[in-house]
Chains A and B, each alone.
Chain A
Amino acid sequence: MLHIVNKSPLTSTTLESCLNTAAGGDLLLIEDAVYAATTGSAFEGKLKAAMGRLKVHVLMPDLEARGLADRMIEGITPVDYAGFVGLTVANKNCQSWL
């Protein structure tokens, strides 16, 4: 399953809920959730801990827009919108954690 999260982990518990619930599969960080993909954030440890179970992707246009493209945590896969589409195709279903 593809889990899509769009909120910063420092203002919302959405990403944490997703990580606590998702059994496995793919996680895509878009919009303000891309802040979770950066080194040095207070959430870094929690995201890294989940990277064993979940394959984590970040939507690069959103990370670039926020000026943090050079701080992506190692092991996260950068994708563009075509890659986003590809992830929805590769997974049987998807959930946007709104």
Chain B
Amino acid sequence: MKFGIVVNEGPYQHQASDSAYLFAKAAVTAGHEVWRVFFYHDGVNNASKLTEPPQDDRHIVNRWTKLAEEHKVDLVVCVAAALRRGIKEENLAQGFRISGLGQLVEAGIKCDRLVTFGD
């Protein structure tokens, strides 16, 4: 089955990004495809390569990058939401790309299931 995932909250502040990641990992482990993860609202902050958590904590940004590399997951950051919050190409982490809201709608159309994580 083809999954789309929406993440509406930033890393560390809210559990949404952790839940979304663990869901995505379980989905690919079960043999499903995670076609796209769309980051919206404060969720765009998951894409900042300037993120530096303490060493004994999980690295939420790098975890998404690794998932994208290993399972060809398309990580899309909403451009309007990103610009509002200071996320640009210059501080975008590897594996993420900035694009329009149409990418979210497309995920809704093309995926068998769209699952949202937020506040």
Contact = CB atoms under 8 A, between A and B. Distances in A.
A98 B42 CA distance: 14
Contacts of A84: 23, 26
Chain B binding site: helix, strand, loop or mixed by DSSP? Answer: mixed
A82 B110 CA distance: 22
B1 A81 contact: no
A94 B5 CA distance: 12
A2 to B, nearest CB: 9
A15 B1 CA distance: 28
Contact of B26 (A6, A31, A82): A82
Interface stretch (B27-35, B51-59, B64-72): B27-35
B61 to A, nearest CB: 20
Contacts, number: 43
A81 B113 contact: no
A98 B26 contact: no
Contacts of A61: 22
B1 to A, nearest CB: 6
Contacts of B15: 6, 31
Interface residues of A, number: 17
A93 B108 CA distance: 11
Contacts of A93: 113
A30 interface: yes
Interface in B100-119: 113, 115-119
A85 B26 contact: yes
| Residue from A4, A31, A86 having most chain B Cβ neighbours under 10 A | A31
Contacts of B29: 82
A13 B7 CA distance: 22
Contacts of A31: 15-16, 19
Question: Lowest 7 A-B CB distances belong to which pairs?
Answer: A81-B26, A96-B116, A98-B118, A82-B26, A85-B27, A81-B22, A85-B26
